[in-house]
Amino acid sequence: MKKIVCLLLSAVMTLSLLAGCGSSGSAASSGGEEKDTLIIAVDEDISGLDPFAQNTSLQNTYTILNYDSLLSLDPATGAIQPGLAESYDIISATEYVFHLRSGVKFHEGQDLKASDVKFSLERAAASTGMASKVSQIDHVEVEDDQTVRIFLNTPSTTILNNLAFCGTSIMCEEWCNANKDSFKNNGTGPYKFVEWKPGESVTYERNDDYWGEKGAMKYLEFVVKTEANSRTIALETGEIDVNAAPATIDFPRFESSEDIELYSVPSTQVAYMSMSYNYEPFQKLEVRQAIAYALNKQEIIDGFLDGYGVVKTTILGSGQQYSDDSIPGYEQDIEKAKQLLAQVGYPDGFSFDLAIRGESRSVEAAIIQSQLAAIGITVNIKKMEGAAYTDLAMNEQMQANLGSWQPATSDADNPLRNLLYSSSKASSNDSRYNNADYDAILDAAIQETDPAKAQELYSQAQMKIYEDIPMIPLFAYYWNIAANKHVKGVVIPAVGDAMVYKNMYWE
Amino acid sequence: MKGMAKYILHRLVLLIPVVIGVSFLIFFIVNLAPGNPAQMIAGAEASMEDIQRIEEELGLNKNIFVRYFEFMRDFILHGDLGTSYYSDKAVVTAYFERFPATLRLAASFIIVAVALSLPLGILAAVKQYSIIDRLSSFVALIAVSMPNFWLGILLILLFSEKLGWLPSGGDKYWYSIILPALTIGLQMMALMTRMTRSSMLEVIRQDYVNTARAKGLSEKIVILKHALRNALIPIITSAGSLFVDCVGGSVVTETIFSWPGVGKLLVDSISKRDLPMVIGFVTITTIVITICNLGIDIIYALVDPRIRSQYASGK
C-alpha cells in the first residue's frame, strides 16, 4: 500500500515539475529577442474564409487586414479617403468613374486590374453576406486596366460609403476562378493571410510590398478565447497582448493594473427598445410617450454597463455621418407618464412581452421592467434563442424588444433605413414602422449631394423618430480594448465595426 | 475467435438501423425548429429578395421529404454529409478536423480519472473506514459537487494566473491539455473512486479471496491480481460510459479552455442554424459512440473469459 502511495506522489511531483519547465508560453517573457508577433484574443471564431459570405464584425476586422476596397476610411475621423482608387469623378447622380492606382499587386503576385474590380463587385452582388452593399449598382464597365465606370440603378451618395467598406473588397478574378471550389485568400492588403486553425487561431503576416502605409508588426495572431475570464487572465499573465473583448466587470482590475491599459471610446453601436405597431396598446402615440417618459437611461447604463455607456437621443452614433446629438430626449417624468396612459384608457397600465436575444441584455431588461412597473406597466421578459428571436420578428409576433444596431458603413442611411424604412421588413424593422413621410425624407437625403442640405434632411428624420417614437434610442455602447502597456498604436475606429490592428506594435 | 468476429459483425450490422433512425429524427427536428437558416446567413441588412435567393441556393425551398431523400442518398451512396452553409467545407472534413482534439480530451479525462481513482478506490476498500477511506470519500464529495465550469476557472486562476505554470487555454503546447483534463478528470475520479471502492469491497468478501490468502499468497498479489481482476467489470463500465459521454464533445470544457473540439462547433452550428453541420455531426457522433460502446464490450471480453465465451456462443 505504501508503495502505491509513494508511486502516486512521485508521479504528481514529476508532472508538476514538467509543467513548471515549460513556461506559460508567453512570448513576452523572452528577453533580448525582439517580439515579432502580436497576440490578440478574440471572443469567437470566423465560420469560413470568404469575406463576402457573412457580414460580421470579426470577419470584417480580418478582411481589412487582407484586402483593400476602392476607397478607405480614416480610423480616427471616419472620413472617406482614397483606397485602391487614387481618385474618382462624379459624372452624374448615377455614374461614377474610378481611377485605380498603378503597380498594385495581389499577395500571390498578380497585378491589380480594372477587370478585378468588376469581378469583385459582381461577386459581392451574388454573395450571401454582402449583396445589400452593392444593390445600388446596376452594372460596371471596364474602360482600361486602370479605369472603372460604375452605373447605379438609383441616385445615391452612399455608394461611396459602401465602396469604402470592406464588403466591397477587391479580389483577384484569375485567382478566385482557379479556387472556385475552396476559397483561398489573396488580397492586396497590408497583411497576408497565413493560416486558419478552426476554433483556435488565425494568423497574418505583414505584406512588405504593400502600396500604402505598411503594417507595424510582422505577425498578427488572433487566438480564440470564448470565455471572458480566460481572456482577462491571459492578458494579465502575458499569454496574450491584446484583449479585443474585455468584460466591463473586469475594468476596475485593468484600470488599477500597472501592466494593462484600457482603451474605451463611445462606439456607433446604439441600443434601443422597439415597440411594435402590431400590438394594440402601442398603436397609440401617448402610450409610446408614456413609456419614453418612464425610462431613466442613465440608470440603465449604470446598472447594466457599470457606467460604460453614453445616453443617446438618436439612433445614430456620434461618429456616424449626419448624426444629430441636439435631438431632444424624454426626461424621466413619472407623473406625466401616468397621465398620458390614463388619457388613452390605460389608467391601470397594461402588460407586454419584451423579447431579448440570449442572455446579454437580461440585466437591462430587468431594469426597464422595474422602471415601467412604476407607471403600472407589467413587462414580461422573454429571453429567446437567436434564431427564434429573429423568427418572432419575421412572423409579426413581436410586441416589444431590445435591439441594437452597429452600422458596418459610415453613412446615416444605413441605420435609419434598415431599422425604420417601411420596406425593411425582413428582420430589422422590428417595430414595423410604416410612415410615408419618413421614407420620403430618407429617399431625398440619400440623393442629396450638398452636405449642409443632407444634414438638414437627416436631422429631420431623426426628429421624426423623436416625435413618432417607433423606437426609443437608449445608449451607445463603449468600444473597449484592453492591452498590455507595451502595445502602442491602438486606435479604436470612429465608425464601422472592424477594429484596426495594422498600426499596433510592441515596444 | 471466430465467434467473436461474428459477434462484432453482428453489432456493426445493428449500427445501420440505429444511424438511419437517428439521422431521420435529427433531420426533421432541426428542419422543423423555429429559425430560418437563410435569414441567419444573410444577416440583418438583407432584403426579402436576398433571403429568398439564398433559400433557393441552399435548396431550402424544396419539399422536406425530397430534401431528406437527397440527404440519405448522398450519405449512403457517397458518404457525403453535405457542406456547411457558412464555410463551404464538407461536413465530414470539418468534423474530422476537430475530432482528434475531442478524442484526446476525452482520453485524457479517463486517464486522469483512472490513474487517481484506481489506487484510491483500492486503498479505500482495503482499508475500509480508515482515514484514507473517509478522506477519499470527502474529496470525492467535494469534486463531484463543484460545477465543472467553476472548477475550471479556479484551476486557471491558480495554475495560470497565480503560478504561471500552465496556459489558460488553447491547444498550442503539449501541456495545454493538463488543466482541461484535470477539470473533468477530477470529477470523474470522484465518481469512479466510489465505484471502484464498492466493487472491490464486494469482491474482497468472496470466498476465493480467502482461499488465495490461505494458500500463502502475498496480500499484494491477492488484491491486485485476483481481487482487482474480478472487480474490473463495473469499473470498466463506468469508465467506458463516462468516456462515451465526452467523445461527442464536452462543450463547457471546450468553451472555458477554448479547446478546438467538436462540441463547441456543434453548439455554434445550432445557433447559426448551419443545418448540414448539425445533422452531419449528430449522425457521425452516433456512429462514433456506437463503435466506442462496441470497443468497451470487446474490452469486457478480453478481461473476463466468461463474457468472451458468451459472445462466442452467440448469446
Chain B window 182-241: which residues touch A at a Cβ cutoff of 8 Å? none
In tens, the pLDDT along A256-276 reads 999 999 999 999 999 999 999
- Written as one letter, the residue type at B191 is L
Contact A77, A320 (CB under 8 A): no
C-alpha A59/C-alpha B153 separation (Å) is 29
Question: What is the interface size between A and B, counted as CB pairs within 8 Å?
Answer: 188
**Which positions in chain A touch B258 (Cβ < 8 Å)?**
199-200, 223-227, 230
Determine the Cα–Cα distance for residues A477 and B9; give it in Å rounded to an integer.
60
In CATH, what is the architecture of A17-50+185-266+479-506? Answer: 3-Layer(aba) Sandwich (3.40)
Provide mean pLDDT across the span A342-360: 94
Q: What are phi and psi of A86, to 5 degrees?
A: -70, -35
Candidates B30, B132, B153, B168: best to mutate against A (most CBs of A within 10 A) is B168
Name, in order, each residue with C-beta under 8 angstroms of B179's C-beta and a sequence gap of 6 or more: B152, B155, B156, B159, B160, B166, B167, B168, B257
The alpha carbon of residue A51 is apart from the nearest alpha carbon of chain B, in Å, by: 11
pLDDT tens-digit series, residues A122-140: 999 999 999 999 999 999 9
Average per-residue pLDDT in chain A? 92
Residue range A445-462, pLDDT digits in tens: 999 999 999 999 999 999
Confidence of residue B314 (pLDDT cuts 50, 70, 90): low
Q: Does B36 contact chain A (CB < 8 Å)? A: yes
Which of A198-207, B124-133, B164-173 has the largest mean confidence? A198-207
**pLDDT, tens digit (0-9, with 9 covering 90-100), for B237-287:** 999 999 999 998 899 999 999 999 999 999 999 999 999 999 999 999 999
**Residue written as cell 424621466?**
A332
What contacts A129, CB < 8 A, 6 or more positions away? A52, A53, A54, A55, A56, A59, A167, B41, B42, B43
Instruction: Write the pLDDT tens digit of every residue in B151-176.
Output: 999 999 999 988 989 988 888 889 99
B177 at interface of A, judged by CB pairs closer than 8 A: no
- Mean pLDDT of the region B131-143: 88
pLDDT for residue B35 is more than 60: yes
C-alpha–C-alpha distance, residues B263 and A281, integer Å: 44
Q: Which of A267, A497, A127 is nearest to B46 (CA)?
A: A127
**Minimum CA–CA partner of B122 in chain A:** A1
Separation CA A457–CA B27 (nearest Å): 51
Q: At residue A255, what is the residue type?
A: E
B59-108, pLDDT tens digit by residue? 999 999 999 999 999 999 998 999 999 988 899 999 999 999 999 999 99
| Confidence (pLDDT) at B5 | 86
> Does A15 score more than 60 pLDDT?
no
pLDDT reading at B224 higher than 90: no
With a pLDDT cut of 70, the percent of chain A lying above it is 93
- Asked if B40 reaches chain A (Cβ–Cβ under 8 Å), the answer is yes
CA A202 to chain centre: 19
CA B61 to chain centre: 36
Q: Over 80: is that where the pLDDT of A235 sits?
A: yes
Is A245 within 8 Å of A40 (Cβ atoms)? Answer: no
* B168 contacts chain A (CB < 8 A): yes
Residue A277 main-chain phi, psi, to 5 deg: -75, -5
Chain B hits for A7, CB-CB cut-off 8 Å, are: 119
Instruction: Compute and round to an integer the Cα radius of gyration of chain A.
Output: 26
**Closest Cα to residue A302, out of A357, A371, A396, A244?**
A371
Residue A23 pLDDT > 50, yes or no?
A: no
Calculate what percentage of chain B has a pLDDT beyond 70.
99
For testing contact with chain A, the best of B31, B45, B95, B269 (most A CBs within 10 A): B45
Q: Nearest C-alpha of chain A: how many angstroms from B126? A: 9
State the average pLDDT for chain B: 90
d(CA B149, CA B255): 9
Query: Is the Cβ pair B94, A198 closer than 8 Å?
Result: yes
Helix axes of A285-294 and A362-373: crossing angle, nearest 10 degrees: 110
The CA-to-CA distance between both ends of chain A, in Å, stands at: 56
**Res. A57 pLDDT band, cuts 50 70 90:** very high
Question: pTM here?
Answer: 0.90
Average pLDDT for A208-236: 94
Helix H segments across B127-147?
131-145
Which among B127, B265, B272 is the nearest to A199, CB-wise?
B265
User: Are A225 and B171 a contacting pair at CB < 8 A?
Assistant: no
Q: Which CATH number fits domain A267-477: 3.40.50.12780, 3.20.20.70, 3.40.50.12140, 3.10.105.10?
A: 3.10.105.10
A426 compared with A112, residue with greater pLDDT? A112
Q: Are B40 and A386 a contacting pair at CB < 8 A?
A: yes
Q: What CA–CA distance (Å, rounded) separates B195 from A187?
A: 59
All residues of chain B having their beta carbon less than 8 Å from the beta carbon of residue A181 are 88
Per CATH, the homologous superfamily of domain A66-178 is Dipeptide-binding Protein; Domain 1 (3.90.76.10)
What ipTM was predicted for this assembly? 0.88
The DSSP result for B256-275, as a single string, is HTT---HHHHHHHHHHHT-H
For chain A, say whether B34 makes contact (Cβ under 8 Å).
yes
**In the 8-state DSSP scheme, what is residue A315?**
S
Give the three-class secondary structure for A129: coil
C-alpha angle B228/B230/B236, rounded to 5°? 80
Distance CA(B122)–CA(A280), nearest Å, equals 70
pLDDT of residue A6: 55
Cell of A85: 482608387
Has residue A409 got a pLDDT over 80? yes
Contacts of A474 (CB under 8 A, 6+ apart): A270, A271, A272, A273, A295, A297, A300, A311, A312, A364
The set of cell numbers assigned to B80 is 457525403
DSSP line for A130-174: SGGGGTTEEEEEEEETTEEEEEESS--STHHHHHTSGGG----HH
Give residues 56 to 95 of B whose Cβ lies within 8 Å of A: 57, 84, 86-89, 94
H helix count then E strand count, chain B: 15, 0
Burial of A378 (0-12, 13-18, 19+ CB in 10 A): exposed
Residue A182's pLDDT band, with cuts at 50, 70 and 90, is confident
Closest CA of chain B from A174, distance in Å? 20
Q: How confident is the model at residue A28 (pLDDT cuts 50, 70, 90)?
A: very low
Q: Bridge-partner residues for A38, per DSSP?
A: A220
**Contact at CB, A55 and B36, closer than 8 angstroms:** no
pLDDT computed for residue B25 by the predictor:
95
What pLDDT score does A30 carry? 44
Q: Which of A170, A154, A478, A427 is nearest to A312 (CA)?
A: A478
Query: A347 pLDDT band (50/70/90 cuts)?
Result: very high
Asked whether the CA dihedral A167, A172, A173, A176 is positive or negative, the reply is negative
**pLDDT tens-digit map of B6-25:** 888 999 999 999 999 999 99
pLDDT of A196 strictly over 90? yes
Instruction: Please give the pLDDT value at position A189.
Output: 96
Residue B258 CB neighbours (<10 A): 28
Half-sphere exposure of A287 (CA within 13 A, CB side): 23
Task: Report whether A354 contacts A362 (CB < 8 A).
Answer: no
| In chain A, domain spans | 17-50+185-266+479-506, 66-178, 267-477
Q: Is residue B227 scored above 80 in pLDDT?
A: yes
Rounded-to-integer distance, Cα A111 and Cα A100, Å: 12
